[in-house]
Amino acid sequence: MARTAAPDGRDRILDVAARLFYEQGIRAVGMKQIVDEAGTGKSLLYGHFATKDELVEAYLRRSAARLGRSAARAQQAAGDDPGERIVALVTDAGHRILRPGGRGCPFRNYLVEFPDAGDEPDTGTGPAAVARRTLGESRAVVERLARELAGPAGGAVLAEQIALILDGLFARASYRDRGDDEPPVGAVLAAVELTRTLVAQHRAPGDAPAGG
């Protein structure tokens, strides 16, 4: 009977792989490096993840779950006003890239590393599907909030503006020099301030947020 891989071994492997993939890029990290840094045998790694793609998918799925929890907390704290919720989402993105080792968005980073993955048929599984679905769901939240704030036409414009801010913010984090320990605080502050300005421009006259 084949031996079942221990669950704690899976978590340890995934922890190490997630850190390496995020810090160094997926193409640059080999399975041997993961085995060496996790201190596990090759058989244990392949007992949990038969291929590198399976490991990358698990990394992106875990990143998506964490993103969902973080974004939900940010929106809940912002209250019911759609404009404040949009600002909260951009602020939350800024907080995530300001953490030590912040290298941008793992889903955008994946699709930049594997540009052809965006053209593959969506089977619902695999790293590309997870990356595209997560970004699509995040974009849908922004579009919904923008429509609630500014109506269909204005909301479409605002959603595109916010998407450009987020893309620029994550790009600013992803191309930091490897030896640069200074987080892009200025970029985050500018992104949040620009978001507030755009939200204010799209509000109906007299439609101030509660407490504003």
For 77, how many CA atoms within 13 A lie in the half-sphere containing its CB? Answer: 11
Give the CATH number, domain containing residue 104. 1.10.357.10
Q: Note whether 68 and 33 are same-domain residues.
A: no
Task: Examine residue 90 and state whether it is found in any structural domain, yes or no.
Answer: yes
Q: Note whether 124 and 171 are same-domain residues.
A: yes
Task: Examine residue 96 and state whether it is found in any structural domain, yes or no.
Answer: yes
Tens-place pLDDT, residues 115-152: 887 566 666 779 999 999 999 999 999 999 999 999 99
Q: Phi/psi class of residue 62: alpha, beta or left (left: φ > 0; alpha: ψ in -120 to 50)?
A: alpha
Averaged pLDDT score across all residues of the chain: 88
Number of domains present in the structure of the chain: 2
Sequence-ordered list of residues with C-beta below 8 angstroms from that of 161, at least 6 positions apart, any chain:
198
pTM equals 0.86
More confident site: 206 or 67: 67
Q: Which amino acid is at 135?
A: L
CA distance 167 to 152: 22
CA distance 141 to 60: 19
CA distance 40 to 37: 8
Band of residue 181 on the pLDDT scale cut at 50, 70, 90 = low
Band of residue 63 on the pLDDT scale cut at 50, 70, 90 = very high
Tens-place pLDDT, residues 187-200: 899 999 999 999 99
CA distance 81 to 146: 11
Give the H or E element holding residue 32: helix 31-38
